């Protein structure tokens, strides 16, 4: 793919997100349909059918933010498809036979695209099909060969890419999708069609939640009022004492959940606090959804906690009937401290350090920390991700045998942190012991990989390898330098291909591993659009290339 020069970002998102604590109301203009505006979070449902996008309304041009549901199949119909030979191409969404564009021609402007193009018809040989080609100036903002796609009226004439949309409060910061557990064969398993979306929102210091089914969003909105109702945001919760309330702290930022969605931890970026929530999947007597409950607030941590990741639960815990002795764990990073803290939920009656929890009130405790010594300074950590694939492989080899699973529970987890002092990817491993309690999930960092300016998020995902099979990778988004680095944990090094993005890459979501679909979605904060990129290493000419630009790139008002 064509490389482009480095450029600086005009909008200082990290500083603005951290220090803008007073949020005024918007100017009353309703957010438009079919428009992404400062997207901050993405999620793909387990069936790979819907892409969820949360928009923050960062510069308050509108009165609210939005949550969108997009049709993935429609996105892939309009996205361009990489290839190396004609055998990699079939027919287009219009039914036209296709070939691989590998030779210089007048139609491709003597610049082969290595994309599937129509053999005949109206768009014969055109690398972008019905879409116009981006000008060199446009590619500096959105580095795709093809022009943007209108979400409401795409040029292929096959209907809107948007399935649903609701309005939320301004200044969302993240998006978390958790499949709803369902009974299958007497055991709870994640649903493939139903889920709940959780959103930290700074504008009203709350945790929003939205129930989804088949791409449709439900948060108490009506046809006349598209805004989520107050019943779908957690501002405060009653404790075991009905006269005492816990209020959600200001400046919520990062969010993580256990796999079953029952325990969540949210960081609060301008204080040394984290809040713990309990999510209830049941339905209330009036038929409405049961909201999550704020059950504990952890004070006394270093200031500016931002990143948070849930520690995967060992399979042994459930089979050994040892559930009451296991406390869900969460790792937290900080902008102002060179450490990673381990928080745990202590269940009713367990307590910590001799303290006893209220009968129905779990408590969130800060049980320990790991110092970051792999960097010269080590403070200013942002995103964090945990990879349990090695442990899962050990568990899968056990065939359900309890003693084997107990030993597999001690297999360490790999931990990755985006750190800015200096800019790097920190690589660590947990100090797992045989007992899955207390501080046994604290990581020790043993290596760092130098990066360019502004590493902000770390995401575990997959590429399609040269053999056509999914291969695990660690993706690091560098907001300031508009790059995504890809780390190979098996080879223990960065991939030679860096992914060049538009300005302000802020979020990343993937198709599922089982789909073997070599696509990822990148939310571009600065210019308000979502890009579809190729993650297929079989086609090196287009690995990391932008295959579609969803929405028209729009610079923020302050930069105009």
Q: What does the pLDDT profile of the chain (560 residues) look like in tens digits?
A: 433 433 333 334 444 444 444 444 445 788 888 999 999 999 999 899 999 999 999 988 888 999 999 999 999 999 999 999 999 998 877 778 999 999 999 999 999 999 999 999 999 999 999 999 999 888 888 899 999 999 999 998 889 999 999 999 999 999 999 999 887 776 778 887 799 999 999 999 999 999 999 999 999 998 888 899 999 999 988 766 667 788 999 999 999 999 999 999 999 999 899 999 999 898 888 878 889 999 999 999 999 999 999 999 998 887 765 554 788 999 999 999 999 999 999 876 443 433 434 446 788 999 999 999 999 999 999 999 999 999 999 999 999 898 899 889 889 999 999 999 999 999 999 986 655 444 579 999 999 999 999 999 999 999 999 999 999 999 999 999 999 999 999 999 999 999 999 999 999 999 988 888 899 999 999 999 999 999 999 999 999 999 999 999 998 876 65
DSSP string, 21-63: -------SPPPPTT---SEEEEEE-TTS-EEEEEE--TT-SSS
CATH topology of domain 13-72+171-524: Methylamine Dehydrogenase; Chain H (2.130.10)
488 Cβ neighbours under 8 A, 6+ residues apart:
471, 473, 494, 495
pTM attached to this predicted model: 0.91
Domain regions of the chain by residue span: 13-72+171-524
419 Cβ neighbours under 8 A, 6+ residues apart:
372, 375, 378, 380, 381, 382, 425, 426, 448, 455
pLDDT of residue 16: 44
Rounded CA-CA distance 548/532 in Å is 5
pLDDT of residue 285: 81
pLDDT of residue 21: 43
* Backbone phi, psi, residue 81, to 5°: -120, 125
The CA distances from residue 439 to 361, 436, 556, in Å, are: 22, 9, 44
The CA distances from residue 373 to 311, 339, 465, in Å, are: 22, 9, 34
Instruction: Please say whether the dihedral angle defined by the alpha carbons of residues 285, 289, 291 and 292, taken in this order, is positive or negative.
Output: positive
pLDDT of residue 320: 61
Half-sphere exposure at residue 69, Cβ-oriented, CA atoms within 13 angstroms: 21
Rounded CA-CA distance 182/190 in Å is 6
Rounded CA-CA distance 84/70 in Å is 29
For residue 556, the surrounding DSSP H or E stretch is none
Rounded CA-CA distance 494/521 in Å is 20
Rounded CA-CA distance 192/459 in Å is 22
- For the chain, percent helix, then strand, then coil, each to nearest 5? 10, 40, 50
Q: Which residues pair with 331 in a beta bridge?
A: 309, 342
pLDDT of residue 439: 53
DSSP state of 133: B
- Which candidate, 269, 273, 266, places its Cα nearest to that of 299? 273
The answer to whether 543 touches 497, Cβ cutoff 8 Å, is yes
The answer to whether 483 touches 43, Cβ cutoff 8 Å, is no
CA angle 345, 195, 282 (to 5 degrees): 65
The answer to whether 517 touches 511, Cβ cutoff 8 Å, is yes
């Amino acid at each position: 793919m064509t490389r482009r020069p480095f450029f600086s970002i005009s909008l200082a998102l990290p500083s603005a997100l951290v220090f803008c604590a007073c949020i005024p109301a918007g100017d009353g203009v309703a957010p438009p349909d079919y428009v992404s505006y400062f997207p901050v979070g993405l999620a793909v449902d387990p069936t790979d059918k819907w892409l969820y996008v949360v928009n923050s309304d960062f510069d308050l041009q509108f009165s609210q933010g939005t949550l969108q549901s997009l049709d993935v199949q429609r996105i892939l119909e309009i996205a361009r498809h990489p290839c190396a030979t004609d055998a990699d191409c079939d027919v287009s969404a219009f039914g036209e036979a296709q070939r691989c564009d590998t030779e210089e021609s007048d139609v491709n402007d003597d610049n082969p695209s290595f994309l599937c193009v129509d053999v005949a018809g109206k768009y014969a040989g055109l690398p972008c099909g019905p879409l116009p080609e981006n000008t060199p100036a446009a590619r500096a903002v959105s580095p795709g060969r093809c022009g943007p796609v209108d979400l409401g009226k795409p040029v292929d004439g096959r209907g809107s890419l948007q399935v649903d949309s609701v309005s939320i409060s301004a200044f969302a910061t993240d998006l978390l999708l958790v499949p709803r557990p369902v009974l299958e064969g007497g055991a709870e398993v994640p649903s493939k069609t139903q889920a709940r979306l959780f959103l930290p929102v700074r504008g009203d210091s709350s945790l929003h939640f939205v129930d989804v089914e088949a791409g449709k969003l439900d948060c108490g909105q009506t046809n006349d009022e598209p805004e989520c109702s107050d019943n779908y945001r957690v501002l405060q919760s009653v404790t075991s004492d009905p006269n005492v309330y816990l209020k959600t702290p200001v400046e919520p930022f990062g969010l993580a959940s256990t796999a079953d969605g029952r325990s969540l931890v949210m960081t609060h970026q301008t204080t040394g606090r984290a809040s713990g929530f309990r999510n209830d999947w049941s339905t209330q007597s009036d038929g409405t959804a049961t909201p999550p409950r704020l059950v504990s607030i952890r004070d006394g941590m270093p200031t500016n906690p931002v990143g948070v990741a849930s520690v995967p639960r060992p399979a042994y815990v459930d089979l050994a009937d040892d559930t009451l002795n296991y406390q869900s764990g969460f790792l937290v990073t900080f902008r102002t401290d060179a450490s990673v803290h381990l928080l745990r939920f202590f269940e009713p009656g367990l307590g910590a350090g001799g303290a006893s929890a209220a009968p129905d009130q779990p408590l969130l405790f800060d049980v320990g920390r790991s110092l970051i010594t792999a960097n010269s300074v080590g403070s200013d950590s942002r995103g964090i991700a945990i990879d349990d694939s090695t442990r899962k492989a050990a568990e899968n080899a056990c065939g359900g045998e309890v003693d084997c699973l107990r030993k597999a529970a001690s297999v360490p987890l790999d931990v990755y942190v985006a750190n800015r002092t200096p800019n790097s990817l920190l690589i660590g491993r947990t100090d797992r012991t045989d007992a899955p309690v207390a501080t046994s999930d604290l990581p020790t960092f043993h290596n760092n990989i130098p990066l360019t300016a502004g590493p902000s998020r770390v995401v575990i995902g997959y590429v399609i390898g040269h053999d056509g099979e999914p291969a695990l990778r660690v993706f690091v988004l560098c907001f300031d330098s508009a790059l995504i680095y890809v780390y190979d944990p098996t080879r223990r090094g960065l991939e030679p291909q860096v992914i060049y993005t538009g300005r302000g890459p802020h979020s990343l979501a993937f198709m599922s591993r089982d789909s073997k679909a070599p696509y990822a979605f990148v939310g571009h904060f600065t210019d308000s659009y979502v890009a579809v990129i190729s993650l297929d290493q079989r086609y090196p000419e287009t690995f990391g290339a932008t295959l579609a630009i969803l929405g028209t790139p729009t610079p923020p008002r302050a930069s105009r």
